[in-house]
Amino acid sequence: MCHVLKSNPLTYGTIIVASGVSANDASPKNRFCSPDIPKNALRQFRYCTAKLQSSGSVLNAKVKMFLRLLIWCCLVLCYVECNGGKRLMCYFSSNSPKGRGYGRYTANEVPVQLCTDVIYRGIRFPEWKRGSYAFNSEEIQRLGAFIYTIKSRSSAVRTHVTVLQRGIETPSYSIMAEIPERRRAFAKAILELLEQYGINGVEIAWEWPGSTVKFGGISGDRESLISLLTDVRAGLKSRNKEFLFFGAIYPKVLRESYRVTSICQLVDFVTLFTFDLRPHTNNVADVHSPMRNRSFETEADRAKANVVDGVETWIDFGCPPKKLILGIGLFGQAHTLANPAVYSVGAPTVGPGAEGQYYYEGYYPYHELCLVIRSGWNIFYDTVAQMPFAVRGNQWMSYENTNSIGVKMDFVREKRLGGVILQHVDYDDFRGFCGSQNPLTNYISQRLKQIPSDIGFAIEWNK
C-alpha cells in the first residue's frame, strides 16, 4: 500500500513507499486512498512529484529519477487497490420477481452496497429475423426496468446481462457461431442492447458447446466458440464493455468443448459453474459443491468434477487465476433416501427431495432452508468435500453455510482468483428470517475485502 514518510535527512525528502498497511486502517497517515490525493493515477503522480520538488532537499538527477519511479509504482498499486480488488458478482434471477409470497424478490432487494457487479440472469437467445437477431421485447422491457432501478440505487455497481440457452434452444448457439454473418449480427444485437440501457457488460452462457456433452450441439462448436468470442470481443472492446463467459469445470467439457487459453485471452472473466455439480439423476446423496472427490466416486464422469480440481484444471490449461470467478450456490439440494437408515454421503436415493414453498422440487433457497433445518433435522459435515448436510427421516439436503463458504474463500485467496459469483443473490436470507439480512452475502463480501491485492496484478498488462 502507499503512505507518506515524513521528511528527514536520510529519506531525501517526502517519499511514498510500498508497505503492508491495511486498506481498512482508518488512521489518516496510513490511508493509502487518502482523500486529499486525487484518485486519478496520473494526477496522483503529478501531485507526488510536485511534493518531491518542493521538499527543499537537494537531490541529484539519479535519485530524483529513482524516487519518481518508486512513486509511480506505488501509485499504480494504490490505483488497483482503490479501484480494483476482488469482484463479488451477484446473479439476479429474472424469475425472482414472480416468486411466491415472501420469496418474491425485486431489484429493490439487491444488496448493491455489497455486490461489485449485478448480473441479470437472464434473457433468452435472440430470434433470427431477416438477417438480424432480435431479443424478446417483453424480456427487454423487464431488463430495462431492472437496470434503471439498480442504477438509481447505486452509481458504483456494475451491471451485466446473461444471454441464456437451454433445452430446445441448445442448437441456437451452434447454428449462429458457425456462420460468420450470424456471428456478426449476434455481436451487433448484444452491443445495441448494452448501449441502449447503459449496461456494463454481457455474459455468454453457452451450456455446453460440442456434440458429445450433455446438451448436445455440433462437432465444430469448439472452434466456432472461439470465432464467436472473437467477434463479440471486438464489438465490446470498442465501447469499453466487459465480457464474461460462463464456464464448466467438468473434465469432459474442458477437454472436448473449450480451448481454454484462447477463451481466457478473449474474455475479461470466466464465471465458473462450481455449484449444483451432483444432479438428482445420479441417485446418490451428495453435497452439490464438493471441494474434492470422495472414495465412493468411481464413475469416470465424476472424476475431478469438484471445486479444487476444476479450478486448477482451468489454470493448468492456461487461464490466468485473476480471470476466474468462483461460483457459490446459495441454495440447498434435497434428495429422498432409498432407506432412511442409510444416510451417509454416498447413500442411495430415489430422486429429488420434497418440494419447498419457493422453488421447484429438490431445491431450497437459503432463506427457506435456514428455517427448515431448524425443525428437527440432524446436521452433519462431509470432511473431504467440506460441506454440511442435514437429514430428517428420508429427506437429505446439502447446502452452504459460513463454514463451507469460508473454505472456498480460503481457496480464492490461495489461488489468487478474481472473486466470487453468487447463484443467486436472491436465494440469501434477504428478509432476515434466520437473523440478520443477507448473512452469506455479507460474509463473502467481508472475506473478499480482507484478501490483499497482489502487486503482480498491477504490472500484468496483458488482458
CATH code, 137: 3.20.20.80
Q: Answer whether 449's CB lies under 8 Å from 355's CB.
A: no
Q: Answer whether 344's CB lies under 8 Å from 383's CB.
A: no
At residue 265, φ and ψ (nearest 5 deg) are -75, -25
Residue 358: CA count within 13 A, CB half-sphere: 24
Alpha helices for 257-397 (secondary structure H): 260-266, 307-316, 366-372
Cell numbers given for 28: 489518516
pLDDT digits 0-9 by tens, 195-232: 999 999 999 999 888 866 666 678 899 999 999 999 99
Residue 106 inside a domain? The answer is yes
* Cβ atoms < 10 Å from Cβ of 241: 20
Residue 144 inside a domain? The answer is yes
Domain count, the chain: 1
What's residue 408's pLDDT?
A: 98
Mean pLDDT estimate for the chain: 84
What's residue 38's pLDDT?
A: 37
Element (H, E) at 224: helix 221-238
Residue 379 inside a domain? The answer is no
Residue 231 inside a domain? The answer is yes
What's residue 459's pLDDT?
A: 44
What's residue 73's pLDDT?
A: 53
25 alpha-carbon distance from chain centroid: 27
What's residue 17's pLDDT?
A: 34
From 260, 285, 411, select the one nearest 345 (Cα to Cα). 285
From 117, 97, 99, 116, select the one nearest 107 (Cα to Cα). 97
Instruction: Tell me how far CA of residue 116 lies from CA of 16, 322, 406, 421, in angstroms.
Output: 29, 16, 19, 10
What's residue 31's pLDDT?
A: 31
Spans in the chain with pLDDT lower than 50: 1-42, 75-84, 456-463
Cell numbers given for 319: 487461464
Residue 341 inside a domain? The answer is no
Residue 364 inside a domain? The answer is no
Domain carrying residue 126: 87-328+404-460
pLDDT digits 0-9 by tens, 389-423: 999 999 999 999 999 999 999 999 999 999 999 99
pLDDT digits 0-9 by tens, 312-323: 999 999 999 999
For residues 272 and 420, what is the distance between their CA atoms, to the nearest angstrom?
9
Residue 410 inside a domain? The answer is yes
From 277, 251, 270, select the one nearest 205 (Cα to Cα). 270
Residue 143 inside a domain? The answer is yes
